[in-house]
Structure 1
Amino acid sequence: MDARSPSLSGVKATPAETKRPRGRPRKTDLERDDGNRRQALITAAASLFRRQGFAATSTRDIAQAVGMHSGSPFYHFKSKQALLYAVMESGMHSAIARQGQALLEVGAASPARLRLRALVRSHFETLLGPGNDFVPVMLYEHRSLAAKQRVALSKLQAQYEAAWSPVLEALHAAGALGAPVKLSRLLMLGALNWSVQWFDPRKSASIEDLTDACMGLFLKESLT
């Protein structure tokens, strides 16, 4: 039957009698606060994806974690995969901002060794600081993204890692870095990233201690 034809009884259905279309539930006043609710969903999803894994976490789990109806996350994200990407994208933007602030505080004209220390410490804070679940999610759920999402994320990662190259080049030129710059950067970041597997602030060293250990491990003795 054509959607514009009258009902069989010849009487138009009243709004109360009209069936609600399938799909997304109606927004409540609480759910209309898009910015706050979106960020709450990202935070909750990051924590759940880290603890349970992407495949084992349902949108219902995420919605319940922030006190929303089970279908409400789809007002903010088209799919669970879109939410996964948002977790990683949001985390990378935060990491880039934190790293930039760390370099700004130490100063562009400061010795390369001090700038590397700022980068290492900032990276540890991103990896191990409270509420930073996105890195483990990114490391272990990367393949769950669509191809276009992986490309977009790789651009953010390249932007983040680009800040390391000039610092390592200066250290290499001064003889404080024994390995080639590109390999050094990859190995350093790989070693730092692995700390999410074993670091426990209740049993292990502090972030400051970890930073000291990395500086001693990565660099030769130098005044640079």
Structure 2
Amino acid sequence: MADGTVSKVKDAPRNPVGREGVLDVAARLFREQGYGSVSLRKIADAAGIKAGSIYYHFGSKDEIVVAILDVGIQVVHEKMRQAVSALPEGTDAETILRAAIGTHLRALLDVSDYTSANVRIFGQVPQSVRDANLPTRRAYEAEWDALLSRLQERGALKPDVDIRRLRLMLIGALNATLDWFDPDRGSAEALSRTYADVFLNGILERQDS
């Protein structure tokens, strides 16, 4: 009888939520409450499982955070890459940049808790977590740098534009919208057009000399 009991325990599913379910719940909590306010117990309670069940999938809270940070960037990266790649060969630089800007912004504001959580908690997490997320982050930055460099080589960007600084300024401005964007006062699509207009055309009227 004892052997049968052990066998049944071993064959039983570890928990009904699963790894992705834990990540989904945790991403929402981190987006809403920040890094410091969310514990493994809070994640387990929100997921409707016992705290110990999380250890079937993750060794620690920070392991969960790294996974969320990675997914948050990968979602935006893949959507941005696909949007640019889908454009016909010979597409003008303005259209390309509008596609990249719009995709990044919509991914932040419309797609998932992962992208929002990534931006909101990255500055709160320990250095070890940032270091673990660095390869994923660097890959997305490299995608932007390569795109901007290609446009500069084509003569679409001014030759004296510092690509790295431009990318930092652009992505930083887009990410900051999470702090104030209100979907009741306008769509992410309209906001992306406004940002693209400012970055591509400037804000000052040209004065005739």
What TM bracket, shorter-length normalisation?
0.7 to 0.9
- Which residue does the alignment assign to 2:75? 94
C-alpha displacement of 1:78: 0.2
Residue 37 of structure 2 corresponds to residue 56 of structure 1: yes
Output the amino acid matched with 2:110: G
CA shift digits 1:174-195 (9 cap, x unpaired)? 3568742221111011100100
2-structure distance, mates of 1:175, 1:134: 29
Is 1:209–2:193 an aligned residue pair?
A: no
1:6 paired residue number: none
Matching residue's letter, 2:189: E
Bigger-Rg structure (1/2): 1
Gaps of 5+ in 2: 4-8, 203-209
Identity %: 29
Aligned partner (choices 42, 55, 63) of residue 82 of structure 1: 63
Relative contact order higher in (CA < 8 Å, ≥ 6 apart): 2
| Per-residue deviation, 1:166 | 3.6
C-alpha change, 1:112 and 1:105, in structure 2 (3 Å) is: same
Code of the aligned partner of 2:178: V
5+ long unaligned stretches in structure 1: 1-13, 17-24
- Would you say 1:39 and 2:20 are equivalent positions? yes
Matched, 1:191 2:173: yes
Give the whole-Å Cα distance in 2 for the aligned partners of 1:111 and 1:162.
Answer: 21
- Alignment root-mean-square deviation, CA: 2.8
Q: Secondary structure at the match of 1:78?
A: coil
2:205: which partner in 1? none
Residue identity opposite 1:119 in structure 2: A
Aligned residue in 2 for 1:19: none
Q: Report the alpha carbon displacement of residue 163 of structure 1 after superposing the two structures with TM.
A: 2.1
Per-residue deviation, 1:66: 2.1
Residue 163 of structure 2 corresponds to residue 181 of structure 1: yes
Deviation of 1:162 after TM superposition, in Å, equals: 1.9
Match of 1:22 in 2: none
Match of 2:135 in 1: 155
Q: Paired residue for 2:13?
A: 29
Distance 1:170 1:141, change over 3 A: closer
Deviation track 1:63-88 (CA, whole Å, cap 9, x = no partner) reads 12222122111110001111111111
Number of residues paired by the alignment? 195
Q: Residues 130, 93 of structure 1: CA spacing in aligned structure 2 closer, same or farther, 3 A cutoff?
A: closer
Q: Give yes or no for contact 2:14–2:53 (8 Å, CA) kept in 1.
A: no
Q: Structure 2 length normalisation: TM-score?
A: 0.79
Tell me the secondary structure at the aligned position of residue 182 of structure 2.
coil
